[in-house]
Amino acid sequence: MSNRIKKIKVGMASCGIAAGADELYKILEANGNGIPLEEVGCIGHCYAEPLIEVETDAGSIFYSVTDTKQATIDNIFNLGEASRFGISEIRAAKENVKITRLCGRISPTDIDEYIANGGYEALQKAQAMSSAEVIDEVKISGLRGRGGGGFPTGMKWGFMASKEADEKIIICNADEGDPGAFMDRSVMESVPHQLIEGMLIAAYATGSNKLFIYCRAEYPLAIKNLKIAIDQAYERKLNVINGKPLEIIIKEGAGAFVCGEETALIASLEGKRGMPRFRPPFPTDKGWNDFPSMINNVETFANVPVILAEGGAEYAKIGTEGSKGTKLFALAGDLENPGLIEVPMGITLAEIVFDIGGADRDSVKAVQTGGPSGGCIPVELFDTPVDYDSLKSLGAIMGSGGMIVIGQNRCMVETARYFLDFTHRESCGKCTFCRVGTKRMFETLERITAGAGEIADINFLEDMGTKVRSGSLCGLGQTAPNPVLATLCYFKDEYLSHIENRQCEALECPALVDVEIKQDKCIKCKLCIKNCPVNAVSDDFVIDNTLCTRCNSCIEVCPKDTIFRCKKGDGYYSG
Amino acid sequence: MANITVTIDGKQLSAAPGETILKIARDAGIQIPTLCHNEKISRTTSCFVCVVKDIKSGRFLPSCSACPADGGEYESSSAEVSDMRRSALDLLLSEHNGDCEAPCTIACPAHADVEAYVRAGRDGDFLKSLQIIKTRIPLPMSIGRVCPRFCEVDCRKNITAGEGGAVCINDFKRLAADLHYEEYMEELPELNGKKVAIIGAGPAGLGTAYYLRMQGFASVIYEKMPKPGGMLRYGIPEYRLPKDILDKELNHFNKLGIEILCNQELGKDVTLDELKKDFDAVAITVGCWKPSSMRTEGEELAAPGIEWLEKIARNGWKGKNPGRTIVVGGGNTAMDCLRTSVRLGSDNVQCFYRRTEKEMPAEDIEILEAKEEGVIFNFLTAPVSLRQGENGLILTCRKMELGEPDASGRRRPVPIEGSDYEVEADTVIAAIGQKTAIPDATIPANRWGDVEADKISQQVNDNIFAAGDCISGAATVVEGVAGAFRVANSIAAYLADIDPTTVHADPINVSRGHWRNMAIDDLVFLRNDISDEPRVEFDFLPPAERKHTMDEVSRTLTKENMMKEGERCIECSCTSRDECKLKEHSESYGAKPDAIKGEKIKAGYDNRHPSIIHDRMKCIKCGICVKICKEVVNENLLSIKQRGFSAKVEAAFGQPLPDSCSECGECIEKCPVGALDWKIKK
C-alpha cells in the first residue's frame, strides 16, 4: 500500500474519554502493529467522539469511531471510506479556528510539539519588546475579557502595570462554572502550554511575579495536563522572566459557582469562604492578600500568544467595532452538532445555530447565551451579530461562551425555572436580594409551572428580577434574573398561558399535560403497560391520567410512536 | 488629600475622600438604615437595606461600602430608594423564621405581655407579675376569673402537652391579683387638668378611666345602675365572679381617685350636650344591654336572658325556684341562665340550641360545668312558638340539620320539615344575644345597630369617643379593656391636638405559625429544662355541692402550684423583641412579614451553650458575628456555611460555642436580630 500510516492521534480530552476513547486507544494499540499512537486533546466536534486523526503520507484522515468492532478497526488501518469524519463546507466557511488551532492536533503533554508548532515564540517576541509595547499590542488587538465581563484586557493590563508593590499577582480564572460550558476545559486539556504562555506574557507585561491558576476540581484532566505543562515550562526555564523564575501555582476550587466571580475567587484563593465583596477597591488595587492582582480568564490568556504572534492590528481585523477576534462557544441543546466552536466576533446567531450547529430551522425557538445567568434570544432575532454589545442590548449576555439551543418543544417558563434552580442554589448567601430574592423567584416559577401561578406572579418576577439585578454585589446575583426577565420579555404569552389557561403549550410541564395513546396506530404490544411504573395504562390501552405521573416511560418505549403528551384535560381521567 | 464635595438628598456636603456614603450621610444627620453594618468590623455589605441611588448612573449602591466620587450625587429618601429598602426588608422578613411576640400575647385582645407575667410568677414574684398584668389588664381580679383565655387556645404547649395542655395562664392573673391587689398602687402622674366624662361603669368604662388616669387625665363615670361594674355585676353570676371580689376590684378605682356617679342615666339624669360642654371629651361605654329577639310567636312570654340575670343580680343573687326551665341559646349568657336556674333550685333545666355543641359559642368549660350540674342539652333544636298552656308555658320546637357554612363560618342550621314537637316549662329564657341601646339620638349607629366609630381611633365625632361592646357588639371583658386602652390613647392624643388615628402602634409580628400547623421539631427551646409536667389542675367545688350554692365554683390556685406551672412556659417570644433592628426598620419602611410568601429558614437552633442560644432561623446572614469574633475578639469561632438559601452561621464542625463565650457576648450585642442571644430573658 502506497499510503503509509505515520501516526494515529486519538482525541482524549474528557469528552473523548467519556465517549470511549480510552478503550479505543487500547484496541488501536493492540491492533496497530507498532504504529505510533498519540493522545491529543479535543478538536471540538463532540458529537462525533471518539475521534481519531490518522496521519498518512498523503495527509490526515479523520474517523469518528463510535464502536470497536473488528471490522471498524480494520477499516481504519486499511484507510477505508467507512466512518470517515469530515466537516461540512458551510461549517468550515463559518468557523475561524485560531485560538484552538492546536487543540486536538498536538499532544497536550509534549512541550516539544507545542514549540514545534510555534509555541512560546510569542513569549520570546514579547520579551524582546518593552512591557509597555506588549500592553499596547494587546490594547490594539481590542481583546476583551472572555470570562463574560468583556472588560478591555489591554486596559486592565495597563492598570496592573502601573501598580508598585512587593508582590504582583496574576490569576487565571479557570473556574468554568456555567453548566454546559467547556471552552476553558478544552483549552486546558488540549493546549495547556498556550495558557501558560499567555500568562507568562501577562506577567512580563505587567511586572507580576506570582501566577495562580484557579481551576475547578471537577477538571482533573485539565489539572493533570497543566501540572505537566508547568513542570515542562520550569524545566525549560520559560518561567524565568526578567531573570527571575516565576511561580505558577494551581489552586483547585471546591465547586462553588460564585468563585468564578473575581472577588470571591480571591477570597477562596486566600483560604477564606468564597464570597464576593463590594468593588472598588478593584483587585488590581487590592487583591490576593491585598497585593495588586489581575484576573483574566483562560480563553483571554489563550488569545494572548496569538495576538503577540500576529500583531494586535492583524488580530483586530476580525470582529466587529466593539468586539474583536474570535470567540469560543460551547454549543449544546437541541441541535445536530453540539461541541466546541470558534467563530469570528460578529457572526450571526443564525450562522452559529443553523450553519455550524446544524439545527433544524423549523424546530428552534430560541438560544440561551451566557449560561444560566444569560438570557434567551428568540429565533426571530437570530440575525443579531454575536458581540458583547449586541447581546447585551437584547437582554442576554455574551458570558463565557455557553450557548444552548432551545427547541420548539421546550417550555420557556420551565427553561427559566431550570436555570434559576441552578443560580439560586449557587448564591453564596451574602446579599439579601440574591439569597432570598432568587429563591422567591424560583418558588414563583415552580408554582407557575405546576399550574398554580397567579397573574400577580408576573409582576412580582419583573419587579423582583430588576431588584435582584441592582441589589447584588457580584455577577451571580446581577445576572441571575436574566433568564426570567428575558423569557418574560420575549415569551410572556407562555407565562400567561400557564397562569390563565393552566396550559403548557410546549407540553413540557408535567402538571399541565396529559398523556394519551393514539389508538389507530397502536399495535397492542403491551410495552407501555409493562413499563408503566404506576400501572396507569389499562389492558385496553388507555392511560388513566389520574394515575399517570407523566414520567414519559411509555412514550420512550413505544415502538410505533403512538403515545403522546396532549393538553391538560384532553387525556382520559377515571372517576 | 483635599476634601471632596458630595450631594445627598440635595444637601451639599464636604467629606474626606475614602469615606463611605453612609458615614458622610450620618455625619450630616441624614438617617440611613443598616443591618449588616458595624463600625467595629471591616465592611460587609450584605443586607442592602442601606442602598442609596447614584443619580448620575441611576444605579443603587450599598452606602455602607460605596465611597463617593467628587461631585457625586445621591438620593436616600426618594420613593424609589424606599421601595428598594422595603423590598430588601420584605425578603428578610419572608425567610425570618421566628416569633416577635409569643402567640399568647398576639392572641390576647389586650395584648398583655403574658410571657413576662408568667415568668415573674414562675420566679415567685407575683407583685411584679401584677405590675406587668396591669399595664394591659386593669381588672385583673375579674378577668383572672372570667376570661375565656384566648391566650391559652393559641399556647404552643398544646403541642408538647397535647391539646388542652396550655400553660394555665389566666390563673396567674387571678393569683397575682388575689395576693397583692389590696396593697398594690400604681405610680400616678400628676393630673393635667383635663377631664373626661365616661358613660357606663362596665369593663370598657372602667378601663378607659384607668388608662386616662395613667396619662394624667381625670374622669367621671356616669352609671345608670345603682352600683358600678356593668356586666361584671349584673350579667356575670355570683358563682363565677363573687361580687365581694368585684367590690375589691372597684375599690382600687376609688383609690385612683376615679369618680363614679351611680343612678345617672344618660338622657334622663344627664344629657350628652351638657357632658360635651362640661368635659374635654366624652367616652361612650354603655355596653350591650338590649336583648335580641327570638322572632317567634309568643316570645313576650319568655324572659330575655340578661334581664332575667339582672333581676336576680339586683336581688343579691337570690330568687325563687324557676321550676321547669328552658333556656334558648348557646352563648355564655345562656350558660349563666342555665346554671343560675340550677342554683335557684330547679331540677329540670334544659338548653335548646339550633346547631351542635361544636358550634356553640359558649366556653367549653361552661358547657362542661353546666352538664356536670345536671343541665340537659338539646342540640339542633330551634324554637318555633311559645304559648301559655294549662300547666305552664308550651314551647313548640323544630329539629334542625346543618347545611352550608354561613358568614360566620359556622354551618347554617336548616329546619327539618314536620319535625315539630312541644315541650312544657314553667320558665322560658331567651338568651340569644344582645344589642346596643344607643343612649342618645345624636350618636350614629352602624349597620348592626351598634355605635358607629372610627375603626382605628374609636372616635365617634367631635370630642365623643366610644369603646367596648357598644361599638363591637357583645364581647368579652378582656376585649372591653382592650378597647378602653385604645380609646384612652385616642382621647389623650385628641386632647393634645394630635390626630387620634396616628397614635396606635401597628407593630409587625413575625410568627413561626399556629401550633396546629406545627410539630415539636418546629419549636425553639431556649433551655432544655422546661417542665414537661402536665397542666396544673383546677380546684373546683364538686358539682353536687355547687349546685346548691352561689359560692364561687373555682378556687384560686396556690402560689406553689402556679410557680411550678410557670416552669412549663416555652417562652416563645423573641429574645431580642425590643431591640430587633429588622423589626424597627420594617416598621418604618412598611415592610410586612407576609408581603412575600415562601419557604422559611430551616437551619435549626443550638441551645447547647449554658447561657447562649443560637437561633439560626432568625439569622439574616449579615456576618457581623463572624467578623466580630474574628476581627475584634480574635477568636474566629464562627463561620458561614453552605450556599444559597441554606447558608447559615455555625461554629467549626457544628461544635457548640465554648463556655468561655459567656464572658464575651460581643456577637450577641451586635447581632441585629437576636439570632445570637442570651437565654435568660430580662
Q: What is the mean pLDDT of residues A366-375?
A: 90
Tell whether A422 is within 8 A of chain B (Cβ): no
- Tell me the count of A-B CB pairs closer than 8 A: 98
A278, B66: Cβ pair inside 8 Å?
A: yes
- How confident is the model over B594-624, as pLDDT tens digits? 999 999 999 999 999 999 999 999 999 999 9
Considering the entire predicted model, what is its pTM? 0.92
For residue B390, how many C-alpha atoms fall within 13 Å in the half-sphere facing its CB? 0
Residues pairing with A564 in the sheet = A516
Q: Residue B496: which residues within 8 A CB-CB, separation 6 or more?
A: none
Rounded Cα distance between B132 and B448, Å, is 36
Q: Is the peptide bond before A280 cis (omega within 30 degrees of 0)?
A: yes
**Residue of A270, A272, A278 to mutate when probing chain B, most B C-beta within 10 A:** A278
**Set of chain B residues whose Cβ sits within 8 Å of the Cβ of A258:** 643
Identity (one letter) of the amino acid at B448? W
- Regarding whether B213 and B172 lie in a shared domain, the answer is no
For residues B274 and B296, membership in a common domain is answered with no
Q: By residue range, what is the domain housing residue B534?
A: 103-184+524-566
Query: What is the count of structural domains for chain B?
Result: 5
**Of the residues B77, B94, B129, the one at which a domain ends:** B77
Going by DSSP bridges, is the β-strand pair A563-567/B73-75 parallel, antiparallel, or unpaired? unpaired
Does A426 sit within 8 Å of B48, measured CB to CB? Answer: no
- Say what the pLDDT of residue A2 is: 59
Is the pLDDT at A1 greater than 60? The verdict is no
Q: Which fold has domain A5-86?
A: Glutaredoxin (3.40.30)
Domain ends where: B400, B434, B468? B434
Question: Best interface-test mutation with A: which of B596, B645, B649 has the largest number of A CBs within 10 A?
Answer: B645
Neighbour count for residue B510 (Cβ, 10 Å): 24
Query: Are A343 and A356 a contacting pair, CB within 8 Å?
Result: yes
In a domain, B512, yes or no: no
* Residue with more model confidence, A57 or A196: A196
A91 shares contact with chain B (CB less than 8 Å): no
Of B43, B599, B620, the CB nearest to A278: B43
pLDDT digits (tens, 9 = 90+) for A117-152: 999 999 999 999 999 999 999 999 999 999 888 999
Chain B: give the shortest CA distance to residue A438, in Å: 9
Instruction: In whole angstroms, give the CA distance from residue A379 to residue A358.
Output: 14
Nearest residue on chain A to B95, judged by CA atoms? Answer: A436
CATH architecture observed for domain A412-500: Up-down Bundle (1.20)
Q: What is the CATH number of the domain that holds B615?
A: 3.30.70.20
B381 and B366, same domain (yes or no) = yes
**A408-428 residues labelled b (16+ CB within 10 A) or e (exposed):** eebbbbbbbbbbbebbbbbbb
DSSP A318: S
* CB < 8 Å to B643, chain A: 256, 258, 425-429
- CATH code of B348's domain: 3.50.50.60
Q: Do B644 and A440 touch (CB under 8 A)?
A: no
Residue B583 lies in a domain: no
Best of B36, B91, B596, B673 to substitute, by most chain A Cβ atoms within 10 angstroms, is: B91
Classify the phi-psi angles of B193: left when phi > 0, otherwise alpha if psi is within -120 to 50, otherwise beta. Answer: left
* pLDDT average, residue stretch A552-569: 94
pLDDT of residue A335: 94
Does residue B628 lie within any of the structural domains? yes
| Integer Cα distance of A487 and A491 in angstroms | 5
CA–CA dist B184, B207 (Å, integer): 17
* Contacting residues for A439 by C-beta, under 8 A, at least 6 apart: A424, A427, B95, B598, B599, B644, B645
In this structure, the answer to whether residues B156 and B69 fall within a common structural domain is: no
Residues B258 and B300 in one domain: no
pLDDT digits (tens, 9 = 90+) for B432-475: 999 999 988 899 999 999 999 999 999 999 999 999 999 999 99
For chain A, give every domain's residue range: 5-86, 111-315, 326-407, 412-500, 512-567
Out of A275, A432, A460, closest to residue B92 by CB: A432
Could you tell me if B252 and B278 lie in one domain?
Answer: yes
Average pLDDT over chain B, rounded to whole?
95
Helix (H) or strand (E) holding B581: helix B581-589
Higher pLDDT, residue A372 or A439: A439
How high is the pLDDT of residue A3?
Answer: 77
Contact B150, B107 (CB under 8 A): yes
Q: Which of A263, A430, A442, A473 to mutate to probe the B interface, most B CBs <10 Å?
A: A430
Same domain, B296 and B426: yes
Q: What is the pLDDT of residue A32?
A: 87
Residues of A with Cβ-Cβ distance to B45 under 8 angstroms = 277-278, 430-431, 473
Per-residue pLDDT tens for B628-681?
999 999 999 999 999 999 999 999 899 999 999 999 999 999 999 999 999 998
Q: What interface predicted TM-score (ipTM) does this complex get?
A: 0.93
Q: List strand residue ranges (DSSP E) for B286-426, in order.
A: 290-291, 303-304, 325-328, 349-352, 376-378, 381-388, 393-405, 411-415, 421-425
**pLDDT by 10-residue block (mean), chain B, 682 residues:** 92 94 96 96 94 95 94 96 98 97 97 97 97 97 96 97 96 97 93 97 98 97 97 96 96 96 95 96 96 90 96 95 96 96 96 93 93 96 94 94 85 91 96 91 92 97 96 96 98 97 93 95 93 95 93 96 97 95 96 96 95 97 96 95 95 93 95 96 80
> Which CATH number fits the domain that encloses residue B18?
3.10.20.740
Helix then strand count (H, E) for chain A reads 25, 18
How many of the other CB atoms lie within 10 Å of CB of B180? 16
Strand segments (E) across B151-205: 195-199
Q: Tell me, yes or no, whether B333 and B411 share the same domain.
A: yes
Q: Is any Cβ of chain B less than 8 angstroms from the Cβ of A435?
A: yes
Contact between A278 and B62 using a beta-carbon 8 Å cutoff: yes
Which residues are CB-neighbours of A307 under 8 A, at least 6 positions away? A122, A137, A138, A141, A143, A315, A325
| Fold entry, domain A512-567 | Alpha-Beta Plaits (3.30.70)
**In this structure, are B131 and B180 located in the same domain?**
yes
| Residue B507: cis peptide before it, omega within 30 degrees of 0 | no
Identify the sign of the CA torsion A121, A124, A125, A131.
positive
Assess whether pLDDT exceeds 90 at residue A190.
yes
DSSP per-residue string spanning B279-320: SSEEEE-----EEPP---BTGGGSEEHHHHHHHHHHTTS---
The CATH T-level fold of domain A326-407 is Ubiquitin-like (UB roll) (3.10.20)
Judged by CB atoms closer than 8 Å, whether chains meet at A473 and B62 is answered as yes
pLDDT of residue A180: 85
Dihedral sign, CA of A405, A411, A413, A418?
Answer: negative
* Chain-chain contact of B643 with A425 (C-beta, under 8 angstroms): yes
* Per-residue pLDDT tens over the stretch A198-234: 999 999 999 999 999 999 999 999 999 999 999 999 9
Domain A111-315 and domain A412-500, same fold? Reply is no
Max Cα-Cα span within chain A = 85
Asked if B337 and B404 sit in the same domain, the reply is yes
Fold of A111-315: Rossmann fold (3.40.50)
Which residue in chain B is spatially nearest to A278 when comparing CA positions?
B65
pLDDT of residue B419: 93
Treating both helix axes as pointing N-terminal to C-terminal, what angle do A70-77 and A21-31 enclose, rounded to 10 degrees?
60
- State phi, psi for A372 to the nearest 5 degrees: -65, -20
The strand ranges marked E within A313-401 are: 326-333, 339-344, 364-369, 375-378
Q: Does residue B448 share a domain with residue B402?
A: no
In this structure, are B310 and B427 located in the same domain? yes
Instruction: Please indicate, yes or no, if residue B595 is contained in any of the structural domains.
Output: no
